[in-house]
Structure 1
Amino acid sequence: MLGNFVYYNPTKLYFGQDSLKYLNDELKNYGKKVMLVYGKGSIKKIGLYDEVVKILKDNGKEIFEDPGVMPNPTLEKVYDGCRIARENNVDLILAVGGGSVCDYSKAVSVSAYCEEDPWEKYYIRMEEVNNKIIPIGCILTMTGTGSEMNGGSVITNTETKQKIGRVFGPEVFPKFSILNPLYTYSVPKYQMVAGIFDIMSHLLEQYFSGEDDNTTDYIIEGLLRSLIHSSKVAVKNPEDYEARSNIMWTATWALNTLVAKGKTEDWMVHMIGHAISAYTDATHGMTLAAVSIPYYRYIMPYGLKKFKRYAINVWNVNPEGKTDEEIAKEGLDRMEEYMREIGLVMNIRDLGVTEDMFEGIAKSTFILDGGYKVLSREEIIKILKDCM
């Protein structure tokens, strides 16, 4: 393991079919005023809204609702949420929904009492939080982002066409998260599959960096194998509890900072995907899917040793009689076959991207240096062309 690091995660998880009952215990730790955040109403269709409201009322809480959080939460929506939180002096933000609802709630939690524009302070200048933070709790209904156990918050500025992810410190992590795999059954197949690839991409972004032999890579390989197996089962039978519970648990561990320890990290697939979403409002996981294979084929020669290992240890490629490049290429070919099998979008044209957007997308893409190749704007445009 290279480098020095500190690992600390303050989020308490309640996992399983009976996990909602523990909300009663958690509510005792906070004041009377609760801001209930959710999306466009799916939690009402499955009856979860009524259950949560009953628990809140039984515990004497005053509820301030903030519905309508969209799949790619906008800055305008964050400003509105800040107003609700600040005007009502809420004691707890309870996010009920998927990763976007959790991300949005974190943005509101740090921004409500920010004395300047939180977009400029926290998302552009990436400054530390030095104002009051409203604690949040999450009840998860869709897996993928890992937002239930990390400080990540991705927000879209529709005016500037920027989609920026800010990773806050442990002080912004959810205080608790409730994970019941049954709540994920109602998610449409398209969204389920997009979430599955979001999990895979989180793991790969951290895996494809560095050349040292470290424990973290072995953990990632195990999580990937579990995800591949369970996702194939879930696509055929979305109500297979074992598969859905394994996917939910893998999503949490893919991005709760554990598998980043002792490694550099790439994250360029996410950076390009975010820029695409800012232009098209496409589903996050599908932007990652459409970009991944062309991107990894482009950088493979620069990290050939790891791509060879990936092919053998994750995709069971037989290395006998093959060159390192042939082994690595076969691994990516098998990954592409799997992606098509579970129904992912494999090109950005299907997500609404047109060639006249290339320059803008490349310009909006944050270029990072943690992976095997630091891209130029021209190389990003080449990759985008390969993604069409």
Structure 2
Amino acid sequence: MLGNFTYSNPTKLYFGKDSLNGLNEELPKYGKNVLLVYGSGSIKKNGIYDEVIKILKANNKEIFEDAGVMPNPTVEKLYEGWLRAKKGNVDFILAVGGGSVCDYAKAVSVSVYCEDDPWEKFFLRMEDVDNKIIPVGCVLTMAGTGSEMNGGTVITNHDSKLKIGHVFGENVFPKFSIMNPVYTFTLPKYQMTAGFFDIMSHILEQYFSGTDDNTSDYIMEGLLKSLIHSSEIAVKKPDDYEARSNIMWISTWALNTLIAKGKSTDWMVHMIGQSVGAYTDATHGMTLSAISIPYYKYIMPYGIEKFKRFAVNVWNINAEGKSDVQIANEGLACMEKWMKEIGLVMSIKELGVTEDMLDGIAKSSFILEGGYKVLNHEEIISILKESMKA
């Protein structure tokens, strides 16, 4: 393990079929006025909304609702939530939904008492929060983002064609998260599998960096193997509790800062994928899947030892009598086969990307330096073109 680091994660988790009861323990810790944040209304169809409302009322909370959070929350929606929370003099924000809802709730939590424009301060200038923060709790209905146990939030600005994530410190982490795997059963298959790949991508972004013998890499290999196994079960039987509970737990540990320790981390797939999302509003996990194979094939020569290890330790490739390049390529081929089998999008063309968008997508992709190869503009375009061919 290289370097020095500090690890702290203040989020309390309630996991399992009875986890919603945790609300009764947590809600008394916060003020009377609660902003209930959720998405398009699916929680009303599956009964989760009624369960949550019942518990809120039993705890004598004044409920203010902020519905309609979209899969890629926009800056306009952020301003709307900021106003609702301000007018309601909200003491606490309860997010009920998937990662986008949790992300959005955190963005609102840091924006209400911000004296500056929150988009400019937090997402363009990337400044830290220095104002009062409204505490957030989450009731998770989709596994994928890990937003239930981290300080990350992502907001899209369609006017400027930017989709930007800001990872805040532990003061913005949810105070608690409710995780009932049963709540994920009714997700459409497209959203479910997109979440699966979001999990894998979070792990790979951290795995494909560094060259030391790092304990984090061993943890990640175990998470990846469990994800691959459980996802293959879940696509055939979405209500398999064991598979879905494993996936929900993997998702949390994929991005709660633990496995990043001692790692430089990459995140270029996310940077390019988020730029694709800003142009197309496509599902986040699918933008990542469409970029990943072209990207990893491109950077593989610069990190050949780790790609070889990935092939052997995650995909069980027999290395005997093969060159490092052959082994690494077989690993990526296995990954690609798995991706296709569970129904992931492999081409950005399928997401609505056209040739005339490529230059703009490349320009809007933030270039990071933690991976095995620092890309330039032309290389990003080359990767995008490879994805278009898939």
Q: Tell me the TM-score normalised to structure 1 length.
A: 1.00
Q: What is the rounded CA distance, in whole Å, between the counterparts of 1:171 and 1:255 in structure 2?
A: 16
| Paired residue secondary structure (2:163) | strand
Deviation at 1:139, TM superposition (A): 0.0
2:119 counterpart residue number:
119
AA aligned opposite 2:175: K
1:30 counterpart residue number:
30
1:41 counterpart residue number:
41
2:139 is the counterpart of 1:139: yes
1:153 counterpart residue number:
153
Q: How do 1:246-261 residues align onto structure 2 when only pairs under 5 Å count?
A: 246-261=246-261
Q: What is the rounded CA distance, in whole Å, between the counterparts of 2:129 and 2:146 in structure 1?
A: 21
User: CA offsets per residue over residues 18-72 of structure 1, 9 Å max, x none?
Assistant: 0001101100100100000000000001101001001101111000000000000
2:5 counterpart residue number:
5
| Paired residue secondary structure (1:209) | coil
Q: What is the rounded CA distance, in whole Å, between the counterparts of 2:257 and 2:94 in structure 1?
A: 22
1:239 counterpart residue number:
239
| Paired residue secondary structure (1:170) | coil
Q: What is the rounded CA distance, in whole Å, between the counterparts of 1:219 and 1:255 in structure 2?
A: 12
1:58 counterpart residue number:
58
The number of aligned residues is 388
| Paired residue secondary structure (1:247) | helix
Q: State the percentage of identical aligned residues.
A: 74
User: CA offsets per residue over residues 71-105 of structure 1, 9 Å max, x none?
Assistant: 00000000000001111110100000000000000
Q: How do 1:122-201 residues align onto structure 2 when only pairs under 5 Å count?
A: 122-201=122-201
AA aligned opposite 2:343: G
1:346 counterpart residue number:
346
2:330 is the counterpart of 1:317: no
Q: Tell me the TM-score normalised to structure 2 length.
A: 0.99
User: CA offsets per residue over residues 216-242 of structure 1, 9 Å max, x none?
Assistant: 000000000000000000001000000
2:372 is the counterpart of 1:372: yes
User: CA offsets per residue over residues 334-357 of structure 1, 9 Å max, x none?
Assistant: 000000000001101000000000
Deviation at 1:140, TM superposition (A): 0.1
Q: How do 1:38-117 residues align onto structure 2 when only pairs under 5 Å count?
A: 38-117=38-117
1:216 counterpart residue number:
216
Q: What is the rounded CA distance, in whole Å, between the counterparts of 1:343 and 1:283 in structure 2?
A: 14
Q: What is the rounded CA distance, in whole Å, between the counterparts of 1:109 and 1:88 in structure 2?
A: 13
Deviation at 1:266, TM superposition (A): 0.3
2:206 counterpart residue number:
206
Deviation at 1:362, TM superposition (A): 0.4
Deviation at 1:128, TM superposition (A): 1.4
1:387 counterpart residue number:
387
Q: What is the rounded CA distance, in whole Å, between the counterparts of 1:25 and 1:62 in structure 2?
A: 17
AA aligned opposite 1:39: G
Structure 1: runs of 5 or more not aligned: none
| Paired residue secondary structure (2:235) | helix
Q: What is the rounded CA distance, in whole Å, between the counterparts of 2:116 and 2:127 in structure 1?
A: 12
Q: What is the rounded CA distance, in whole Å, between the counterparts of 1:91 and 1:102 in structure 2?
A: 17
User: CA offsets per residue over residues 187-241 of structure 1, 9 Å max, x none?
Assistant: 0000000000000000000000011001000000000000000000000100000
| Paired residue secondary structure (2:204) | helix
Deviation at 1:382, TM superposition (A): 0.4
Q: How do 1:255-334 residues align onto structure 2 when only pairs under 5 Å count?
A: 255-334=255-334
Deviation at 1:166, TM superposition (A): 0.3
| Paired residue secondary structure (1:129) | coil
Q: What is the rounded CA distance, in whole Å, between the counterparts of 1:282 and 1:126 in structure 2?
A: 24
Q: What is the rounded CA distance, in whole Å, between the counterparts of 1:134 and 1:333 in structure 2?
A: 46
AA aligned opposite 2:374: V
Q: What is the rounded CA distance, in whole Å, between the counterparts of 1:71 and 1:130 in structure 2?
A: 28
Deviation at 1:159, TM superposition (A): 0.9
| Paired residue secondary structure (1:186) | coil
Q: What is the rounded CA distance, in whole Å, between the counterparts of 2:127 and 2:31 in structure 1?
A: 29
Q: What is the rounded CA distance, in whole Å, between the counterparts of 1:385 and 1:49 in structure 2?
A: 43
User: CA offsets per residue over residues 314-373 of structure 1, 9 Å max, x none?
Assistant: 000000000000000000000000000000011010000000000100010000000000
AA aligned opposite 2:58: D
User: CA offsets per residue over residues 140-199 of structure 1, 9 Å max, x none?
Assistant: 000000000000000001110100000000000000000000000010000000000000
Deviation at 1:294, TM superposition (A): 0.4
